[in-house]
Amino acid sequence: MEPNQFLNAARWLSKRGMHVFPLMPGTKVPAVRADWEGCATTDLEQIDRWWGTGRCNVAVATGPSGLVVVDLDVSAEGNGPNGRETLRAIAEKASDSLPVRTMTVSTPSGGEHLYFRAPAGITFTNTAGRLGPLIDTRAVGGYVVAPGSQIARKPYRLTCIDAPAPMPGWLVDALRPRSRPVPSLPTGTHLSRGYVQAAIAGEAARVAEAPVGRRNAALFIAAAHLSRFVAAGQLRAGDVHAALRAAADRHVGTAGFTDAEVFRTIESGLRRASPTSTRPVPSGVSSRGRALP
């Protein structure tokens, strides 16, 4: 069987250093069972197995690919500035211009994806509306539908075939991660400071590493587990919020995951564990279990 358009697209992207994985045909939904970011690859043999006989769409995992992709959308109502106009205004405010020679993809909705090479030493995460209305970005923890794919039979098309350009300085400054340090623990706890700190770190790691379909559950379970320390007077609820919000930052902006949802899920987990519950404080770095009913 001759290679199909999806296989051609996946191979073309991989040869340019982009890590790809399959999406369900005609959708933006990962076709791998879990950990799509870990599954994304440039290995041509794996790519041939995934797309050799199938019709799956292609996704580029932006983090492993070392990319930041700016998603410029257009208003459905057609009024007000679109994403490109807003981004151009940000560049002009910084006395610069919007790059025109970087890999660019038109989307079925009439928007664009601008591909940029992320600078070394900075870990960018996903954003939704941070740069302005109708602008999202994808980086570590994110992915974009790649050229060659189709949604509702409408294609993603390459409109500029150039390699991704380095991120311009003004864009780096605008998207530089906002640090949320893990808070210091209150004094006077009857468990060691190191023990409680390790529990926070373990739960935060599980939230950060959760696949798309398990983000809410991981966040809820982490908040519920750490609420035991709150009930015992060993942590403040604000400490839990700060640590878990920092861990969930990489997910914000991906597949509809928002800051508001993060806040609500943490609050729900903190409320779920009653101070009178007999369930013990976790005995390891992080505790494991099913979501509470």
* CATH fold of the domain at 5-175: Prim-pol fold (3.30.2250)
The pLDDT, as a whole number, for residue 285 is 27
Domain segments of the chain as ranges: 5-175, 179-293
The pLDDT, as a whole number, for residue 216 is 79
Phi, psi (rounded to 5 degrees) for 127 = -135, 155
The two tokens of residue 64 are 């492993």
- In contact, 105 and 60? CB cutoff 8 Å: no
| Number of neighbouring beta carbons within 10 Å of residue 255 | 14
In one-letter notation, the amino acid at residue 247 is A
Counting DSSP H helices and E strands in the chain, the numbers are 9, 12
The pLDDT, as a whole number, for residue 199 is 84
Phi, psi (rounded to 5 degrees) for 117 = -85, 125
The pLDDT, as a whole number, for residue 243 is 87
Q: What is the DSSP letter of 120?
A: T
CB-facing half-sphere around the CA of 38: CA atoms within 13 A: 7
Cβ contacts of residue 188 below 8 Å, gap of 6+? none
- Over its length of 293 residues, how does the chain's per-residue pLDDT go in tens digits? 344 899 999 999 999 999 999 999 999 999 987 678 889 999 999 999 999 888 999 999 999 999 999 999 998 776 678 999 999 999 999 999 999 899 999 999 999 999 999 999 888 888 878 898 899 999 988 899 999 999 999 999 999 999 999 999 999 999 987 655 444 444 444 556 777 888 888 888 888 887 766 777 888 888 888 888 888 788 888 888 888 988 888 777 766 677 778 888 888 888 865 443 333 333 332 332 222 22
The pLDDT, as a whole number, for residue 192 is 67
- In contact, 113 and 36? CB cutoff 8 Å: no
The pLDDT, as a whole number, for residue 78 is 66
